[in-house]
Structure 1
Amino acid sequence: MAFEPPQRLVRALGETAPDGDDWLEKLPEAARQAVALRELTVERVQMPGGRSSLVVLVRRPDGTPAVLKLAPPRARPESERAALAHWGGAGAVQLLDEPPVEGVLLLERLHPDVSVRSLPEAKALLEAAGTLRRLWVEPPGEHRFETVAERTGRQAEAMRATASGDAGVSALVDAALAARTELLTAPPERRLLHGTFRQSKVLAGERMPWLAVGPDPVVGECAFDLARLVRDRVEDLIASPSGAATTRRRVKRLAESLDVDQERLRGWTLFRAVESGVRALRVGRPKDAELLLEFAGWL
């Protein structure tokens, strides 16, 4: 079978590829080797797929359905492996036993086309928040996960460099960086976080109704994780005449439902929205940037 990467993956990785990166070129052969090593039967490549990995629907030698996932080093697949192993299937997709190969994960099969985004908005937020709560556990001892301070520190440097030529963007960046500085002063807890949680990262399963997939794990306070969920369906929020008020209600409702400080959630939502918006500007996605920065302005 030909393991051609979906165009969505090609475009996304092309935005962030360092000079000389040849992971996409080597991907078809790496996928063939991964399938052969595990004696898997390939059903199909998941389309349109994700933005950081190739996802292949397969069956194991005993006929059990599974998912084979291949990701480049910059997507931190070994960090994902460690987080999934630590969660042990509690709230997240189960990591299956396999010969460990760097950049290759064998996972339990969920329903890849059914996420909580298929539910009405209020129900989707409720189910997503409930799933997220189960992931917030103590990190393993001697862990090597990136911390919130480390990740946002790298992002802050890129934000400053990108926003220097636009007064409106610079003002939002200044506000986001000030919020980050204050939030890092005294974080209320230290948990293992999903890192990139949103509704589309919660899929229907057989073991449990909903399970999280695709973590980019980080260690820090829970409000950082929840912040990305606040802006889910941002295009609908921007299109609504009551979008700003809806956003503020969402911050309040999510904070109360998960026992997170409302102001800390608002601060991290601001930082993450501005960071994403500035990154969209940097890689040439002005429409996405406009949505995200308008949303950030409501906070």
Structure 2
Amino acid sequence: MAFEPPRRLVRAFGETAPEGDDWLATLPEVAERAVARRGLTVERVQVPGGRSSLVVLVRTAEGAPAVLKLAPRRARPESERAALVHWGGRGAVQVREEGDEEGVLLLERLHPDVSVRSLPEAKALLEAAGTLRRLWVEPPGSHPFETVAERTGRQAEAMRAGAAADAQVAPLVDAALAARAELLGGPSEQRLLHGTFRQSKVLAGDRMPWLAVGPDPVVGESAFDLARLVRDRVEDLIAQPSGASTTRRRIKRLAESLEVDQERLRGWTLFRAVESGVRARRVGRERDAELLLEFAGWL
């Protein structure tokens, strides 16, 4: 079978890959080798798939359904593996093999075309939040994961560069960086977080109704993880005349339901929305940038 990467992956890789990165060119060969090594039967490549990995629906030599996921080193697949192993299937997809092949994961098969995003909005938020709560556990000792301070520190540098090049976003960047400094100013809880959690990252399963996939794990406070969920369906929020008030109610409801400080959730929601907006503008996704920065302005 020809392992043709989906257009979404090709487009995203073109936006973010450093010069000289040949992962996409070598992907078909890597996929063939991974399939042959495990004796897998390929059903199909998942489309549209993600922005940082190739997902292939397969069956094992015993005929069991599974997912083969291939990702470049910069997507931190070994960090993903470590988090999934630590969760052990509690709230997240299970790893099907120990494995030491870098950038290759064999995972439990969920229902890839059914996410909580398919539910009505209120129900989707409830189910997603319940899934997220199960992931917030103590990290393993001597863990390999980035901390929130480390990750947002890297992001802050890129945000400053974006603000220097675009005076229009500078006030929002200043507000986001000030919020980050305040949030990191004192001690906070240290939990293993999903890192990139949203409704589309929660898929229907068989052993549990909903399970999380695709973590980019990080260690820090729960409010950081929940902040990405606040802006889910941002295009719908922006289209509503009451979008700003709906957002504030969503922050209050999610904070109360998951016992997270409301102001800390607001602060991390601001930081993450501005960071995503500046990044989208940097790679030419202007429509996404406009939505995210308008949303951030409500906070």
Checking the alignment, whether the CA contact within 8 Å between 1:41 and 1:59 is kept in structure 2 is: yes
- Provide Cα deviations, 1:221-244, integer angstroms capped at 9, x if missing partner: 000000000000000000000000
Instruction: Report the Cα offset of residue 33 of structure 1.
Output: 0.2
Q: Any unmatched runs of 5+ in structure 1? A: none
Q: Any unmatched runs of 5+ in structure 2? A: none
C-alpha separation between the residues in 2 aligned to 1:187 and 1:235? Answer: 35
C-alpha separation between the residues in 2 aligned to 1:123 and 1:186? Answer: 35
Q: TM-score w.r.t. structure 1 length?
A: 0.99
C-alpha separation between the residues in 2 aligned to 1:139 and 1:20? Answer: 35
Instruction: Report the Cα offset of residue 14 of structure 1.
Output: 1.1
2:15 alignment counterpart: 15
Structural mapping, 1:131-142, within 5 Å: 131-142=131-142
C-alpha separation between the residues in 1 aligned to 2:100 and 2:42? Answer: 19
C-alpha separation between the residues in 2 aligned to 1:295 and 1:162? Answer: 18
C-alpha separation between the residues in 2 aligned to 1:98 and 1:70? Answer: 15
* Displaced runs of 4 or more, over 6 A: none
Instruction: Report the Cα offset of residue 114 of structure 1.
Output: 0.1
Instruction: Report the Cα offset of residue 30 of structure 1.
Output: 0.2
Equivalent residue letter for 1:265: L
C-alpha separation between the residues in 2 aligned to 1:20 and 1:29? Answer: 18
Instruction: Report the Cα offset of residue 166 of structure 1.
Output: 2.9
- Provide Cα deviations, 1:91-130, integer angstroms capped at 9, x if missing partner: 0000012532000000000000000000000000000000
1:216 alignment counterpart: 216
Structural mapping, 1:178-217, within 5 Å: 178-217=178-217
1:4 alignment counterpart: 4
Instruction: Report the Cα offset of residue 168 of structure 1.
Output: 3.0
- Provide Cα deviations, 1:116-171, integer angstroms capped at 9, x if missing partner: 00000000000000000000000000011000000000000000001113333000
C-alpha separation between the residues in 2 aligned to 1:247 and 1:284? Answer: 26
Checking the alignment, whether the CA contact within 8 Å between 1:234 and 1:292 is kept in structure 2 is: yes
C-alpha separation between the residues in 1 aligned to 2:188 and 2:248? Answer: 22
2:147 alignment counterpart: 147
Checking the alignment, whether the CA contact within 8 Å between 1:38 and 1:98 is kept in structure 2 is: no
C-alpha separation between the residues in 2 aligned to 1:73 and 1:14? Answer: 16
Equivalent residue letter for 2:293: L
Q: Secondary structure at the match of 2:165?
A: coil
Worse-matched range after superposition: 94-103 or 5-14 = 94-103
Structural mapping, 1:114-263, within 5 Å: 114-263=114-263
Instruction: Report the Cα offset of residue 19 of structure 1.
Output: 1.1
2:293 alignment counterpart: 293
Q: TM-score w.r.t. structure 2 length?
A: 0.99
Checking the alignment, whether the CA contact within 8 Å between 1:81 and 1:95 is kept in structure 2 is: yes
C-alpha separation between the residues in 1 aligned to 2:98 and 2:188? Answer: 37
- Provide Cα deviations, 1:194-226, integer angstroms capped at 9, x if missing partner: 000000000000010000000000000000000
1:101 alignment counterpart: 101
In percent, how many aligned pairs have the same letter?
85
Q: Secondary structure at the match of 1:44?
A: strand
Q: CA RMSD in A?
A: 0.7
